[in-house]
Structure formats: C-alpha cells, structure tokens
Amino acid sequence: MKTGRQWLWPSSLSGRLIATIALALLIGQLINAVLLVRIQHAQAQDRVAAEAALRIIAATERLEEGRPLRARSFDRMRRSPGVRLRRTDLLPANPVTAAMEQLPAVAERLESILPSYGVEYRQLVAGMTDAPPRPRRLARMAADIGGRDARQVRGLAIVAVQRPDGQWLTVRVPVPENSSRIGATIIAQTVLLYLVMMIPLVWLTRRIARSMGALREGVARFEATQEPQPITPSGPSDLADLTRSFNAMSARIATMLNEKDVMLGAIGHDLKTPLAALRVRVESVPDERQRARMADSIDDITHTLDDILSLARIGRTGEPLEPVNLGALVEMIAEEFVDLGHEVTVADAPRLVIPLQLTWIRRALRNVIGNAVRYGARARVSIARGADSVSIVVEDDGPGIAAGDIERMFEPFTRLEPSRNMATGGTGLGLTLARAALRQHGGSLTLANRQNGDGTMAGLTATLTLPVG
C-alpha cells in the first residue's frame, strides 16, 4: 500500500530525520544564495555609480574650466581622467530613451553623490544601452573594470545629466556581470555542509534505529510468547530509559499473567472441590428424578466454569503444536456425536496434516458441531482445501440466526433463545471459545445463513478456517 507520497517521503525515523535536515539545509543555502546575489548586485551598482560619478565630476570640471571634454593624442596613454572620459559626450538630447532598461538604483546613488561635489544639473537619468557593444569592445571594457574577459561585462550603462545650459552630459560605463562563481560557491558550500552534517547524522540515526529495532523486536517477542526477555538498553539515554521501562513493564505484565493463571487455578480448585463433594452427596438422594436433575445442574456449573477458565487461559496453556490429521479429527468428533444419537455426517475427510494444538481445535469443533445438532437438528461436515488455508464447513438445517445477531453470537454469554438454552445447558461461551481457539492458530470462525432457492431459511453454515503451510 505504498503511495507515491510515501515513496518520496521516507517512513522510518532515521530516513525522516535525514530528509528533514537535508531539506532544511537546502532551504537555508537557497536563502543564503539569494542574499549573496543581492549583495553582489548592489555592489555592481555601486561600482557603476562610482565610475559614472567620477567621470561626470571630471567632465563637469573640464567644462567649467572651458577645456574640451577629451584631450587628444598623448593624454590617451596616461591613465588619467582623459582615459576615463573616453566614453563621455555632450549631447543636445536625452540619450536615455524610455525603451531602455532604466537603472533607478544607479541614478539614486548618483543623486546622493553629485551635489556634494558641486555638480549642478537639471535632471539625471540612467539606463542600459539597448545595442550591446561588440565582443572586442566588451573585452576592453572588462579590462577597464578590472575583469579578465568580456563575459564579466553585462553591458553598457548610459548615465546622462542635463546641465543647467540644457545639454546632456553623457557617460557610458560598463556594467559588471553578476559573477557565476556565486552559484558554484553556493553549491560547493552545500555539498561540503552535507558531508560534514550528514555523515555523523546517518551514523547517529542508524544507532538510534538499531536500538529502536531491538526494542521493537523485544515488544513483538513479548507479544508472541508473553515471556519477559529483558532487552539490553542501548542508544541515547531517552531510548535506553524507554527500553528499561519496557523491560520493567513486560516483567510486571508477565508476573500479572502468571498470578492470573495461579489465581484461576486456585478458583478452579476451590470451586470444583465443593462441587465434587456435592456430586457425591447427590448419590444419596433417594428420588431418582431429583438426583438426575441435581447431577445435571452440577454438570452445567462445571461446564460453565471450565469454559470460563479456558477462555481466560487461552494462549497461555503452552500446549505445543503437533501435526494432526485433520480429517481423522473431524471424523472422530462426528462419531462421538453419532454415538450420542445425533445425526452428523462427514462428506469428505481427506488426509490433511496440519500442526495444531489438538485440545483447542478439538474443542472448537465440538462446540460448533454441538451447536449445529442442538439448534439445527443435524450437521453436515465437509472439509475444503484452499490455496493457503483449509476450511471445515458445518451446515445445519436449523432456523439460522437473524443477520444482525450473527456477530453478537461470538460475544461471551450470548444466548439467542434463553429459555431453550437453559434446558439444553448451553453456557453461551461455546462460540467465543471456538473463535478464540481458531484465532490462536491464525484462523477464523464465521457464521452465515443459508437460503433455499425460494428465499426461505435453509439453515446456518459455520466455517472454521485454518491456515496451511
């Protein structure tokens, strides 16, 4: 029953722990990456703004001193404002069109820088040129901003300042590319973090899982055997404490179960001895009818007592499983009923050997077949072999059971016809015991009404199923 979701999301504790931490780490690294990219972006804009500011200040100085914007020839060789002014122009119109990508962050930075250097202007705009420069120029521009190759230049920013005389002082500044190394750095960092965290984490969770596995097996073993077998506490202290608590609890439960067995044995003994005394004294009653009735009453009490004690002890008898010829068992029980004058037929009794607790399955069969002859006049028994189970089917010709009452039949002390039952001496525990015995073997007991072709009740079918192999 594994759905896709369960497949994606591990079910074990260690799996979940590792997956959760891995996921949290990944999210943390993503946030880290976003922050880094943003910082880098801001730095790039700072650089663009600083470069533009330098040139604008230099150009403004020249213009105010009446010198030309660019000194020709040899100026170019020196790394002087002349070089920086290479891409500086004085234009009559605003070169930054609305179609360009605007750089408001750069403009904002410049607006805070320029006035403090005495640069006067009417307005200031910044944008990216929409026609990217050729690769060779890009490489040169990259060299200008200290990079090694063209890939580190994203493009050219145009910053234009409208001077008080209406002309546009325009500078072009290369915009550095966001470094791709950031991605690689983040990935390398994440991998390293994973290694550093996951290796001890896997080791730790496996240790925890091992301790928990031992505990789980101990619980299952106790469930199966009801014998306390202390588990050696291991793992972290909480788990070790849990293991110790479990050991204490299983020991207490085992003690209680043993006490229960002792108590039931004592009850059985203490009630049966006076019953035996009564049964002996009954023999001295002269009236034969009275004597028979009294003996019957004692038998009823004894049966009820035995059934109650059995029900309380089921699963605790320690009776071993033995290979039993089921066909012969069914036939023997059928013959017992035949000897008592009941009509019981066995349709098909193949030789089928199953490991059983003989006394319990014999009891279950006696109870079910006994019910069939008591309420259903006769019993037809057949054995059907299934793929991995065998079913003993007991059919009677009785009145059946109202559909709503079928499940109730398995509850202790349920009798559907109290008046009739009292006379026949049912304890109301027969089916409860039978079902408990079959369940003890991993089998089941079901009851179902059978109908004739015309819809009238044909009788009740009881099916006792036992696993095979």
Partner 1 sequence: MTDSAHILLVDDEPSLREPLAEYLVGQGFAVTEAGDAAKARSLMRDQRFSIILLDIMMPGEDGLSLCRHVAAQGDTPVILITAKGEAMDRIIGLEIGADDYVVKPFNPRELVARIKTVLRRSSRAPNEVDDNIQGYAFDGWTLDIVKRRLTDPDGALVPISTAEFKLLQVFAEHAGHVLNRDQLLDLAHGREAHLFDRAIDNQISRLRKKVEVDNRSPKLLKTVWGGGYTLAAKVRRLDGPDTQ
Measure the CA–CA gap between 374 and 430, rounded to whole angstroms: 12
CB of 310 to partner 1, least distance (A): 8
Judged by CB under 8 A, does residue 328 bind partner 1? Answer: yes
Judged by CB under 8 A, does residue 294 bind partner 1? Answer: no
Query: Is 52 exposed, middle or buried, given 0-12, 13-18 or 19+ CB atoms closer than 10 A?
Result: buried
φ, ψ dihedrals at 275, nearest 5°: -65, -40
Which range touches partner 1 (CB under 8 A), out of 73-81, 181-189, 329-337, 395-403?
Answer: 329-337
CB of 294 to partner 1, least distance (A): 11
Q: Which of residues 298, 311, 384, 393 is near partner 1 by CB under 8 A?
A: 298
CB of 210 to partner 1, least distance (A): 41
DSSP H stretches of helix in 160-226: 181-225
Name residue 444's amino acid. Answer: S
Judged by CB under 8 A, does residue 276 bind partner 1? Answer: yes
Residue 356 three-state SS: strand
Judged by CB under 8 A, does residue 329 bind partner 1? Answer: yes
Measure the CA–CA gap between 416 and 390, rounded to whole angstroms: 29
Name residue 140's amino acid. Answer: R
Judged by CB under 8 A, does residue 265 bind partner 1? Answer: yes
Query: Angle 430-440/288-313 helices, nearest 10 degrees?
Result: 30
Residue closer to partner 1, measured from CB, 46 or 322: 322
Name residue 322's amino acid. Answer: E
Which range touches partner 1 (CB under 8 A), out of 28-36, 69-77, 324-332, 405-413?
Answer: 324-332
Q: Which of residues 281, 293, 408, 439 is near partner 1 by CB under 8 A?
A: 281
Judged by CB under 8 A, does residue 353 bind partner 1? Answer: yes
Q: Which of residues 268, 315, 399, 412 is near partner 1 by CB under 8 A?
A: 268
Measure the CA–CA gap between 140 and 87, rounded to whole angstroms: 12
DSSP 425: T
Measure the CA–CA gap between 57 and 438, rounded to whole angstroms: 99
Q: Which of residues 361-400 bind partner 1 (CB under 8 A)?
A: 362
Residue closer to partner 1, measured from CB, 307 or 397: 307
**CA-closest candidate to residue 103, choices 179, 175, 35, 19:** 175
Residue closer to partner 1, measured from CB, 99 or 280: 280
Q: Which of residues 322, 348, 405, 411 is near partner 1 by CB under 8 A?
A: 322
- Rounded to whole angstroms, the maximal C-alpha distance in the chain is 152
Judged by CB under 8 A, does residue 262 bind partner 1? Answer: no
Cα distance from N-terminal residue to C-terminal residue, the chain: 25
Measure the CA–CA gap between 76 and 122, rounded to whole angstroms: 30
Which range touches partner 1 (CB under 8 A), out of 90-98, 173-181, 189-197, 321-329?
Answer: 321-329
- Beta-carbon count within 10 A of 113 CB: 17
Measure the CA–CA gap between 110 and 42, rounded to whole angstroms: 14
Judged by CB under 8 A, does residue 178 bind partner 1? Answer: no
Q: Which of residues 21, 332, 377, 457 is near partner 1 by CB under 8 A?
A: 332
Q: How many CA atoms lie within 13 A of 140 on its CB side?
A: 8
- Kindly determine how many residues on this chain lie close enough to bind partner 1 according to the rule CB under 8 A: 36
- Strands of 29-76 (E only): list them: none
Judged by CB under 8 A, does residue 290 bind partner 1? Answer: no
Which range touches partner 1 (CB under 8 A), out of 23-31, 146-154, 328-336, 441-449?
Answer: 328-336
CB of 244 to partner 1, least distance (A): 36
Using CB under 8 A as the criterion, which residues of the chain lie in contact with partner 1 when the complex forms? 265, 268-269, 272-281, 283-284, 295, 298, 302, 306, 317, 319, 322-325, 328-329, 331-333, 335-336, 353, 358-359, 362
